[in-house]
Amino acid sequence: QEELCLVCGDRASGYHYNALTCEGCKGFFRRSITKNAVYQCKYGNNCEIDMYMRRKCQECRLKKCLSVGMRPECVVPEVQCAVKRKEKKALKEKDKPNSTTNGSPEMIKMENGVTPILPEQEELIHRLVYFQNEYEHPSEEDVKRIMNTPEDEEDQCDVRFRTITEITILTVQLIVEFAKRLP
């Protein structure tokens, strides 16, 4: 039985960014996230997304992508894509029959005696920095939610304790999300 894209109903090609989608919706979602696109619906913000409407209303299509479970944090940053392309190119060059090992990064030392990092190491560094930036600080909404809870004549000591507890929980959640993404 053919599986269908959860966004538009086209033939699904697999799970992309945490949801079963077609190639078209996968590419649309990736481009929308990497470009931080902001769309405007011309039809009342409630379009039924199908194979026809997916081309007509980008805002409702992006909302549908998010509602079926596509996750922006799963989109690989453009810097990381460039590193991966560079790495693939380097592997192709390495596999050529007339290549020599004398020019490989492992054998080259810079003038200061430091060996340059490999493309895989550089990619890993970029991923770690990206995810650290994503999960290092709580969102403004989360902080406002914690700080703006009504006090309802609570003892100041209780209010402070509750605030510290909620901030601790939020921090632990961010650490867990960061750790889940470690290679």
CB atoms under 10 Å from CB of 48, counted, come to 10
Residue 105 resides in a domain: no
The domain boundary, picked from 58, 74, 90, lies at 74
Which comes out higher in pLDDT, residue 52 or 173?
A: 52
Pick the range with the lowest mean pLDDT from 82-91, 94-103, 162-171: 94-103
The count of residues in the chain is 183
Residue 80 resides in a domain: no
Given the structure tokens 């039985």, which residue do they identify? Answer: 1
Q: Using one digit for the tens of pLDDT, what is the confidence trace for 135-164?
A: 788 888 888 888 776 666 678 888 888 888
Residue 88 resides in a domain: no
CA angle 63, 67, 68 (to 5 degrees): 120
Residue 166: exposed, middle, or buried by beta-carbon count in 10 A (0-12, 13-18, 19+)?
middle
For the chain, the domain total comes to: 2
Question: Of 75, 54, 73, nearest to 63 (Cα)?
Answer: 54
Q: Is the pLDDT of residue 30 over 70?
A: yes
177: tokens are 């999300």
Distances (CA, A) of 107 to 91, 93, 97, 124, 164: 16, 16, 18, 21, 52
Residue 79 resides in a domain: no
pLDDT band at 26 (very low <50, low <70, confident <90, very high): very high
Res 47: pLDDT: 97
The domain boundary, picked from 74, 89, 112, lies at 74
The domain boundary, picked from 74, 93, 126, lies at 74
Which comes out higher in pLDDT, residue 61 or 76?
A: 61
Average of pLDDT values for 9-15? 96
- Mean pLDDT, the chain, integer: 85
Residue 183 resides in a domain: yes
d(CA 178, CA 133): 10
Residue 2 resides in a domain: no
Which comes out higher in pLDDT, residue 15 or 107?
A: 15
Q: Which domain holds residue 56?
A: 14-74
Expressed in angstroms, the distance from the first to the final Cα of the chain is 34
Please report which helix (H) or strand (E) contains residue 16, including its range: strand 14-16
Residue 27 resides in a domain: yes
Q: Using one digit for the tens of pLDDT, what is the confidence trace for 57-71?
A: 999 999 999 999 999
Q: Is the pLDDT of residue 106 over 50?
A: no
CATH code for the domain in which residue 57 is found: 3.30.50.10
103: tokens are 């020019």
d(CA 168, CA 180): 18
Residue 9 resides in a domain: no
Res 144: pLDDT: 81
